[in-house]
Amino acid sequence: LMSLNSTALSHPPYFLLIGIPGLEKEQFWIAFPFCIMYAVAVLGNITLILIIKGDPSLHEPMYLFLAMLAFNDLVLSTSMLPKMLGVFWLGAGEIGFQSCLAQLFFIHTFSSVESGVLMAMALDRYFAICWPLRHSSILSVPVVAALGTLVLVRGVLLVSPVCFLLHRMPFCHHHTISHSYCEHMAVVKLACGDTRLNVIYGLFVAFIVIGSDIILISVSYIMILWVVLRLLSAEARLKAFSTCASHVCVILAFYIPALFTFLTHRFGQSIPPHIHIMVADLYLLVPPMLNPIVYGVRTKKLWDRVV
């Protein structure tokens, strides 16, 4: 009987998502702009994928990485937003234990993939600007496909142990998640066993993914800047800067909120919960909405296909 009880205690049948702590009354209205952002993200990213798929002249590294980013953004935003709207509009906060782990897996895996694709795009810009004659031979279609696969496998391999560790944790009494979706640290805080391993592994994954990708992106752009500033033609300099500016905007829109949410969970006790959770929500909605707009408008080849 004791073992049955302990098993029942260790895994609650469901968790309860409360949405945005402190803004429970306002979140009904907050859901409307969130829904519009999601609609723009879905429409924009599907359009991007269809344009790139349907035009053989766009089967170049830059556009193939862009198609990967668009697909990733669709998965990332869809893994959290429909459920979040259910919480905000219908008060349907209940989420089964296994469903919660699945949502957590998708959100963290595809956040890692997003970071990896942005890193691959920075490498693509580096080779295009610094090694223009060898660009297509270095980044051939098989190499682009291998990079995409590698980034996906990295995400799956690094995030799977997070779910496994949570599955083994006992959850005693607290089943209410102070968040709009199942996020690793928000779920860890409900466990009643020793969570040090979960916290350390979470830090390790973030350091491996964000740390390595930011270093590679930074090095790529320092090298690009070095080459661009030595170009004789002002027009060529402007063109190179213009190409990179859109990518830098997308990178900042992804990494700044990501780092904010990650650090707030661990060190930001003085930050009001509603601000923390709002940023965490927007971090999974703004990049998917922004990416097709920024790249679609800034990239002449794509813009010509749209209009």
Give the model confidence (pLDDT) of 152-168 as tens digits: 999 999 999 999 999 88
In this prediction, residue 92 has a pLDDT band, given cuts at 50, 70 and 90, of confident
Global pTM value: 0.89
14-299: CATH topology: Rhopdopsin 7-helix transmembrane proteins (1.20.1070)
Contact 90, 28 (CB under 8 A): no
Give the model confidence (pLDDT) of 208-244 as tens digits: 998 899 999 999 998 988 888 887 777 777 877 777 7
Write down the domain spans for the chain: 14-299
Residue written as token pair 């291998």? 146
> DSSP characters for 145-188?
HHHHHHHHHHHHHHHHHHHHHHHHS---S--EESSSS--HHHHH
Instruction: Give dist(CA 283, CA 34) in Å, integer.
Output: 12
Least confident of 88-102, 194-208, 241-255: 241-255
